[in-house]
Protein backbone atom coordinates (compact mmCIF):
# COMPACT_ATOMS: atom_id res chain seq x y z
CA UNK A 1 0.00 0.00 0.00
CA UNK A 2 2.85 2.38 0.84
CA UNK A 3 4.30 1.78 -2.66
CA UNK A 4 1.10 3.23 -4.18
CA UNK A 5 0.74 6.24 -1.84
CA UNK A 6 4.27 7.63 -2.33
CA UNK A 7 4.02 7.93 -6.16
CA UNK A 8 0.56 9.52 -5.86
CA UNK A 9 1.86 12.10 -3.39
CA UNK A 10 4.87 12.85 -5.62
CA UNK A 11 2.71 13.28 -8.72
CA UNK A 12 0.33 15.57 -6.82
CA UNK A 13 3.24 17.70 -5.56
CA UNK A 14 4.75 17.99 -9.05
CA UNK A 15 1.41 19.00 -10.57
CA UNK A 16 0.95 21.69 -7.91
CA UNK A 17 4.42 23.15 -8.66
CA UNK A 18 4.02 23.42 -12.41
CA UNK A 19 3.55 26.94 -13.73
CA UNK A 20 0.40 27.91 -15.54
CA UNK A 21 1.34 29.40 -18.89
CA UNK A 22 -1.12 31.22 -21.10
CA UNK A 23 0.17 31.65 -24.63
CA UNK A 24 0.34 33.02 -27.15
CA UNK A 25 0.22 36.44 -25.55
CA UNK A 26 0.92 39.78 -27.19
CA UNK A 27 1.97 42.60 -24.86
CA UNK A 28 2.50 45.26 -27.53
CA UNK A 29 1.08 48.73 -27.27
CA UNK A 30 -0.30 49.86 -30.64
CA UNK A 31 1.26 53.35 -30.43
CA UNK A 32 3.82 55.08 -28.28
CA UNK A 33 2.90 57.13 -25.24
CA UNK A 34 4.40 60.59 -24.76
CA UNK A 35 4.59 61.05 -21.01
CA UNK A 36 5.30 64.42 -19.40
CA UNK A 37 7.50 64.19 -16.31
CA UNK A 38 6.03 65.97 -13.28
CA UNK A 39 7.94 68.08 -10.76
CA UNK A 40 8.81 64.99 -8.72
CA UNK A 41 10.24 63.08 -11.70
CA UNK A 42 7.18 60.83 -11.99
CA UNK A 43 5.37 59.88 -15.20
CA UNK A 44 1.86 58.44 -15.24
CA UNK A 45 -0.10 56.79 -18.03
CA UNK A 46 -3.73 56.20 -17.08
CA UNK A 47 -4.58 54.28 -20.26
CA UNK A 48 -2.11 51.49 -19.37
CA UNK A 49 -2.16 52.04 -15.59
CA UNK A 50 1.55 52.69 -15.33
CA UNK A 51 3.49 55.05 -13.09
CA UNK A 52 7.21 55.22 -12.33
CA UNK A 53 10.00 57.54 -11.25
CA UNK A 54 12.34 58.75 -14.02
CA UNK A 55 15.08 60.33 -11.87
CA UNK A 56 17.39 57.30 -12.27
CA UNK A 57 16.81 57.23 -16.02
CA UNK A 58 17.70 60.90 -16.44
CA UNK A 59 20.75 60.46 -14.21
CA UNK A 60 21.92 57.50 -16.33
CA UNK A 61 21.45 59.49 -19.53
CA UNK A 62 22.58 62.99 -18.48
CA UNK A 63 24.41 62.42 -15.16
CA UNK A 64 21.85 64.82 -13.64
CA UNK A 65 18.85 63.33 -11.86
CA UNK A 66 16.99 66.66 -11.87
CA UNK A 67 17.24 67.09 -15.66
CA UNK A 68 13.75 65.59 -15.99
CA UNK A 69 12.21 68.95 -15.14
CA UNK A 70 10.09 70.18 -18.06
CA UNK A 71 10.87 67.13 -20.19
CA UNK A 72 8.86 64.22 -21.58
CA UNK A 73 9.79 60.66 -22.35
CA UNK A 74 8.55 58.46 -25.17
CA UNK A 75 7.62 54.91 -24.36
CA UNK A 76 6.28 51.86 -26.18
CA UNK A 77 5.95 48.18 -25.37
CA UNK A 78 6.82 45.34 -27.75
CA UNK A 79 5.18 41.95 -28.32
CA UNK A 80 7.41 40.33 -25.71
CA UNK A 81 6.48 42.82 -22.99
CA UNK A 82 9.69 44.88 -23.07
CA UNK A 83 9.36 48.64 -22.58
CA UNK A 84 11.40 50.97 -24.81
CA UNK A 85 12.05 54.45 -23.42
CA UNK A 86 13.84 57.47 -24.85
CA UNK A 87 13.41 61.22 -25.12
CA UNK A 88 14.62 64.29 -26.94
CA UNK A 89 18.40 64.73 -26.68
CA UNK A 90 18.84 61.17 -25.37
CA UNK A 91 21.75 59.29 -26.94
CA UNK A 92 20.24 55.92 -26.06
CA UNK A 93 17.05 53.90 -26.05
CA UNK A 94 16.54 52.06 -22.78
CA UNK A 95 14.85 48.66 -22.80
CA UNK A 96 13.25 47.58 -19.53
CA UNK A 97 11.33 44.60 -18.29
CA UNK A 98 8.87 44.67 -15.41
CA UNK A 99 9.83 42.76 -12.27
CA UNK A 100 7.88 42.88 -9.00
CA UNK A 101 6.98 46.57 -8.86
CA UNK A 102 10.08 47.84 -10.65
CA UNK A 103 11.54 48.36 -14.09
CA UNK A 104 14.80 46.45 -14.55
CA UNK A 105 17.17 47.58 -17.30
CA UNK A 106 17.46 44.83 -19.90
CA UNK A 107 19.48 46.73 -22.51
CA UNK A 108 20.80 50.21 -23.28
CA UNK A 109 20.92 50.76 -27.05
CA UNK A 110 23.25 53.51 -28.26
CA UNK A 111 21.64 55.52 -31.07
CA UNK A 112 23.54 58.79 -31.62
CA UNK A 113 26.54 60.65 -30.24
CA UNK A 114 24.65 63.91 -30.82
CA UNK A 115 21.38 62.83 -29.25
CA UNK A 116 18.01 61.99 -30.73
CA UNK A 117 16.30 65.23 -31.77
CA UNK A 118 12.63 64.32 -32.18
CA UNK A 119 12.14 60.62 -31.45
CA UNK A 120 9.00 58.74 -32.44
CA UNK A 121 8.31 55.06 -31.76
CA UNK A 122 6.10 52.85 -33.93
CA UNK A 123 5.00 49.26 -33.48
CA UNK A 124 6.34 47.28 -36.48
CA UNK A 125 6.23 43.74 -35.17
CA UNK A 126 8.51 42.02 -34.60
CA UNK A 127 10.41 45.32 -34.25
CA UNK A 128 9.98 48.64 -32.55
CA UNK A 129 10.69 51.33 -35.11
CA UNK A 130 12.49 54.47 -33.93
CA UNK A 131 12.18 57.47 -36.24
CA UNK A 132 14.34 60.56 -35.83
CA UNK A 133 14.66 63.26 -38.48
CA UNK A 134 13.33 60.89 -41.14
CA UNK A 135 15.82 58.14 -40.27
CA UNK A 136 14.19 54.81 -39.34
CA UNK A 137 15.89 52.29 -37.07
CA UNK A 138 14.53 48.82 -36.31
CA UNK A 139 15.00 47.87 -32.67
CA UNK A 140 14.67 44.63 -30.77
CA UNK A 141 15.19 44.11 -27.06
CA UNK A 142 18.73 42.95 -27.99
CA UNK A 143 19.70 46.05 -29.96
CA UNK A 144 19.55 47.51 -33.45
CA UNK A 145 18.37 44.98 -36.01
CA UNK A 146 21.24 44.39 -38.42
CA UNK A 147 23.54 46.63 -36.38
CA UNK A 148 25.27 46.90 -33.05
CA UNK A 149 23.78 44.85 -30.25
| Per-residue confidence (pLDDT) for residue 42, from 0 to 100 | 94
| Per-residue confidence (pLDDT) for residue 3, from 0 to 100 | 58
| Per-residue confidence (pLDDT) for residue 5, from 0 to 100 | 55
Supply angle C-alpha 50, 53, 57, rounded to 5: 115
| Per-residue confidence (pLDDT) for residue 148, from 0 to 100 | 47
Q: How many CB atoms are closer than 10 A to CB 125?
A: 10
Residues 6+ apart with CB under 8 A from 115: 88, 89, 90, 91
Q: Would the pTM count as exceeding 0.85?
A: no
| Per-residue confidence (pLDDT) for residue 101, from 0 to 100 | 86
| Per-residue confidence (pLDDT) for residue 25, from 0 to 100 | 75
Spans of the chain, pLDDT less than 50: 10-11, 13-14, 148-149
Cα–Cα separations (whole angstroms), residue 87 to 18, 56, 75, 132, 147 = 41, 14, 9, 11, 21
| Per-residue confidence (pLDDT) for residue 46, from 0 to 100 | 86
C-alpha 86, offset from chain centre = 10
Amino acid sequence: MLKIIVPVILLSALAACSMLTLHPANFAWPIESVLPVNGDGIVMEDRYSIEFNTAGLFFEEFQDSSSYSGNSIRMIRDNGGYYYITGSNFKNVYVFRADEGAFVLHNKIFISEFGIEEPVFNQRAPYIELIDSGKKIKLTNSGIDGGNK
